Amino acid sequence: MLVCILVWTINVRGLGMKVALTVWKNWISPVFDAANMFLVAEIQDGEIIDRYYESFDPERPSLLVNRLIDAGVSVFICGAISEIPAFAIENSSIKLIPFVSGRYDDVLYHYIRGRHVTSQFFMPGCRCNSGKQRDGKRFSCTTRRYNKK
Amino acid sequence: MKRGGRSHNLDKNTTNIILESISDGVFTVNHRWEITSFNRAAEDITGVPREEAINRHCWEVFRSNMCEGDCALKKTMKEGKAFISASGFIVDSNKKRIPVTVSTALLKDKEGNVVGGVETFRDKSVEEELRKELLSKFQLRDIVSRSDSMNRILKILPQIAESGSSVLIEGETGTGKELIARAIHNLSPRKNRPFVAVNCGALPDTLLESELFGYKAGAFTGAFKNRQGHFASAEGGTILLDEIGDASPAFQVKLLRVLHEHEFQPLGAEKKIRTDVRIIAATNKDLFAMVERGEFRRDLFYRINVIQIRLPPLRERTEDIPILVDRFIAKLNRIRKKSVKGIDRKVFDVLMSYSFPGNIRELENIVEHAFVLCSEDTIRLRHLPANLSMQSFERDEDECKRVNPVRLAEIKVITDALRRNNYNRNATAKDLGIHKTTLFRKIKKLGIKLPEIDGRSGRKRFDAGVVTVESKSL
C-alpha cells in the first residue's frame, strides 16, 4: 500500500507524468476503435501543466503506441476497446484503463487527485480494472452478471 | 372512458410482451440522449443489465462505432425520418466486436409530439462469421489445417490483419511463416500494395542495408545509379523480415531506428525518407531467450513483438498430414499431368510416426520425391526416400525378415553422402573415405540409382534428392 502511494506520489505529484485520453467533444470517446482524437495531459505536482490534442488512426494501434511512447505517455484512458488494439497497448509499457466514460475533464480531475478511476466513470455493465498492474500482472475486464430472463 | 383506459393498459402490456420476446435489441432515448427503456434482447447483445442502462447516455451503453460520427439516431432526430439497417459494430464488455445492423425511428407521444428516438439493432455475428469463413477460406486458401492450434491462429488472422500492428511469427523452419505473413497482408487494408519478403540471415550487413534502404549513385564502388530499396518498394504495403534472429547487432540498431522514426536513409543519401510499411518479422529462434542472453536487442524485440504468432511444428499437428499429403498430390498431379490417387496405408503409418524436423516443407519434398518415382496410382513404401523407407522397414517385421540391415545401413550412408556432396561422386568417395571405384562398385551392387547429373554440372538445385534403390537388391 505504502509502495503504491509512493509510486503514485512520484508519478502524479512529483516528477510529472503524461496521461492520454481518447476524446470526443467534451467526453471520453465511447469507442476507441472509432475514435480519431486523443488528448495528452502533462501532470506535475497535481496540476496539468500542458495539454494538447492529436489525431490518430485507431486501425493502426501499433503506430499509436509508438507515438505515445515517443511522447512519454505512461497511462492511456479510453472508452470501449476491442481485443487487438487493447493487446497492442497492454503489451507496451503503457498502462491501459479502458471502458471509461464521462466528461474527460472530470476523469482527468479525479485521476490527478490520485483517486481511482472509480465505478462512476466506468461504462455500464463493466467492472473494469483492465491493464497492467505495476507488478506486471494483468487485470481483465469482466462483464457484470445479470439474470437473463 | 374506463373501457378506453383498460384498452390502453392492455396495449401497453402487449407492447411490453412483444418487446421482451423479440430477438432484436430495442432501446429508446429522450432528447438528452438518455436511455429510457431497454429490452431483454438489448441486455443480451450488449451485456449491459437494464437497471444499469436506464438513464445513462446511449453511447455509454451501446458503444457502437457509429456513435461518434455517424449516429443513425441523431440523423433521425435531426431529419425527422426513419433509417433502416445501417451496418456497424458494437464493442461489448469483453472487448469483443459484435457486428450489428441498426434501424432508428422517432418516438412520439399520443399527441404526436416527438419525445425522443427508438433504436432497434440486430446481432449479425452468425452471418458475419459465415461470411468471414467463406471469405477466409478463399483468402487463406494456401493454408490448410484441421488442428485446433492452427485453427485458433487462422481464426484471429483477419483481426490481426486489420489491426495494422507489427507481428512476430515464431516457428520452426518449414512451418509456413511466410504463408502466414502473406495471408496477413492479403487480409489487411494494405492488400493492394506490395508484399516484400527479405531474408535477414542470407545477406551480409552492408548488402542487407543497401537491399532494404537502397542507395544513391556513387554511394560505394559500383553504385553507378540510384537504386530503390525494399522499404521504398513496399511503401504502403507489408515487409516480411524473415530470420530476424540472424540479423547482426549493427543491423538491429538500424532497423530499430526505422521502426522508431518511420524514416530511413538510403546509403549515400543526405535526406531521410518517410516510410509507411507494416513490419512482419519471422524467426525460427526463440527471440525472447536471445534477448535474455543479450543476443538480440530488447527494445527491438518489443517493437516487433506487438502481436505474436507461434506456429506449431508438424509433429504437433499430425492430424494435418493426410490433408497436406492430399493437397501436395493434387498439386503435383496438376503440374506433372499424372493421376496419382493417394498413398498406401503403410506410407501413411510411416508419415504419421515421422518427426519431420523440416516440417511441412520436408513433407512436401517427401511427397514430391515419392511422386517422381511413382508410376502407379498409389504411392508405396518403395517410393519414399531411403531414410524413411528404412524407418518403415525397421517397423515392419515381415519386411525386415526380407531385407539385410547391413545393406540398408550402407544404402543410407551412401545416399546421404551423395546428397551432401550434390551427387559429385569424387567428393562423395572422399567424404566416405573410400576410393571412387569402390563407391561405384557399391552403388552398382546395392542397386542405388543415381540422377543423370553428376554434381559437376552448373545446376543449382536438385529435385529433392532423386536417388532410388532397386527393391530387389535389398
A148 domain residue, yes or no: no
Query: Is the Cβ of A92 closer than 8 Å to some Cβ of chain B?
Result: yes
Same domain for B237 and B158, yes or no, is yes
B441 domain residue, yes or no: yes
> How far apart, in Å, are the Cα atoms of B263 and each of A71, B48, B142, B234, B303?
17, 45, 33, 13, 15
Out of A25-39, A115-129, B207-221, B295-309, give the one with best mean pLDDT. A25-39
Same domain for B332 and B360, yes or no, is yes
Identify which of B44, B52, B94 has the shortest CB distance to residue A148: B44
The pLDDT of residue B91 is 93
B1 domain residue, yes or no: no
Q: Which CATH number do you get for residue B415?
A: 1.10.10
Same domain for B203 and B297, yes or no, is yes
B6 domain residue, yes or no: no
Provide the residue type at B218 as one letter. G
Final residue in a domain of this structure, among B275, B295, B312: B312
Same domain for B395 and B414, yes or no, is no
C-alpha–C-alpha distance, residues B101 and B87, integer Å: 4
What's the structural domain count of chain B?
Answer: 4
The pLDDT of residue B203 is 77
Query: Is the Cβ of A96 closer than 8 Å to some Cβ of chain B?
Result: no
Mean pLDDT of A56-84: 88
The pLDDT of residue B433 is 83
Probe site for chain A from B56, B59, B190 (most A CB atoms < 10 A): B59
B227 domain residue, yes or no: yes
Q: Which residues in B lie closer than 8 A to residue A79 (C-beta atoms)?
A: 60, 63
The pLDDT of residue B60 is 95
Q: Which residues in A lie closer than 8 A to residue B262 (C-beta atoms)?
A: 63, 66
| Phi/psi-derived region of residue B6, left when phi > 0, alpha when psi is between -120 and 50, beta in every other case | alpha
Number of helices (H), then strands (E), belonging to chain A: the values are 4, 10
CA dihedral sign, ordered A112, A115, A121, A123: positive
Provide the residue type at B59 as one letter. W
> How far apart, in Å, are the Cα atoms of B185 and each of B22, B140, B156, B272?
41, 11, 14, 26
Q: Hey, are the CB atoms on A31 and B64 less than 8 Å from each other? A: yes
Q: Hey, are the CB atoms on A84 and B67 less than 8 Å from each other? A: no
Judged against a pLDDT cut of 70, whether residue A1 lies above it is answered with no
Identify which of A33, A59, A125 has the shortest CB distance to residue B49: A125
C-alpha–C-alpha distance, residues B149 and B317, integer Å: 8
A119 domain residue, yes or no: yes
B397 domain residue, yes or no: yes
What is the pLDDT tens value at each position of chain B, 474 positions in all?
A: 344 444 455 577 787 888 888 999 999 999 999 999 999 999 999 999 999 999 999 999 999 999 998 899 998 988 888 888 888 999 998 888 899 999 999 998 888 889 999 999 999 887 876 766 565 444 465 677 778 888 888 888 888 998 888 999 999 988 989 989 998 998 898 988 889 888 887 778 778 888 888 887 776 766 677 778 888 888 899 999 999 998 888 889 888 888 888 888 888 888 888 889 999 999 999 898 999 999 999 999 988 988 999 999 998 888 888 888 988 888 888 777 788 888 988 888 888 888 899 999 999 999 999 988 888 888 998 888 887 766 655 555 444 444 566 777 788 788 888 878 878 888 888 888 888 888 888 888 787 777 665 555 443 333 333 334 443 333
Q: Which CATH number do you get for residue B246?
A: 3.40.50.300
Residue B312: name the closest of B406, B215, B115, B177 by CA. Answer: B177
Final residue in a domain of this structure, among B92, B123, B154: B123
A85 domain residue, yes or no: yes
Q: Which residues in A lie closer than 8 A to residue B64 (C-beta atoms)?
A: 30-31, 34
Higher pLDDT, B404 or A75: A75
Q: Hey, are the CB atoms on B68 and A87 less than 8 Å from each other? A: no
Same domain for B185 and B159, yes or no, is yes
In chain A, residues 120-139 whose CB comes closer than 8 Å to chain B = 123-126, 128
> How far apart, in Å, are the Cα atoms of B95 and each of B274, B283, B308, B371?
33, 30, 19, 49
Q: Which CATH number do you get for residue A136?
A: 3.30.420.130
The pLDDT of residue B103 is 93
A149 domain residue, yes or no: no
Farthest-apart Cα atoms in chain A, separation = 52
A45 domain residue, yes or no: yes
Q: Hey, are the CB atoms on A142 and B40 less than 8 Å from each other? A: no
A8 domain residue, yes or no: yes
Query: What three-state secondary structure class fits B29?
Result: strand
B225 domain residue, yes or no: yes
Q: Which residues in B lie closer than 8 A to residue A72 (C-beta atoms)?
A: none
Residue of B nearest to A140 (CA): B94
Same domain for B149 and B270, yes or no, is yes
Same domain for B146 and B105, yes or no, is no
Q: Domain limits at A56?
A: 2-143
The pLDDT of residue B29 is 94
Q: Domain limits at B459?
A: 404-474
The H or E element containing residue B46 is: helix B40-46
Query: What three-state secondary structure class fits B67?
Result: coil
In chain B, residues 98-157 whose CB comes closer than 8 Å to chain A = none
Same domain for B144 and B258, yes or no, is yes
The pLDDT of residue B83 is 85
Provide the residue type at A130 as one letter. S
User: What SS3 string covers B213-258?
Assistant: HCECCCCCCCCCCCECCHHHHCCCCEEEEECHHHCCHHHHHHHHHH
DSSP for A62-110, written as a single string: HHHHHHHHHHTEEEEE-SB--HHHHHHHHTTTSEEE-SB-SBHHHHHHH
- Count CA atoms closer than 13 A to A7's CA, side-chain side: 8
Q: Hey, are the CB atoms on A144 and B69 less than 8 Å from each other? A: no
The pLDDT of residue B102 is 93
The pLDDT of residue B456 is 52
B2 domain residue, yes or no: no
What's the structural domain count of chain A?
Answer: 1
Q: Which CATH number do you get for residue B362?
A: 1.10.8.60
Q: Which residues in A lie closer than 8 A to residue B303 (C-beta atoms)?
A: 66
Chain length of chain A: 149
Q: Hey, are the CB atoms on B189 and A91 less than 8 Å from each other? A: no
Q: Do B442 and B418 meet the contact criterion of CB atoms below 8 Å apart?
A: no
Same domain for B391 and B441, yes or no, is no
Residue B417: name the closest of B393, B394, B446, B391 by CA. Answer: B446
Final residue in a domain of this structure, among B97, B123, B149: B123
Closest Cα of chain A to B392: distance in Å? Answer: 46
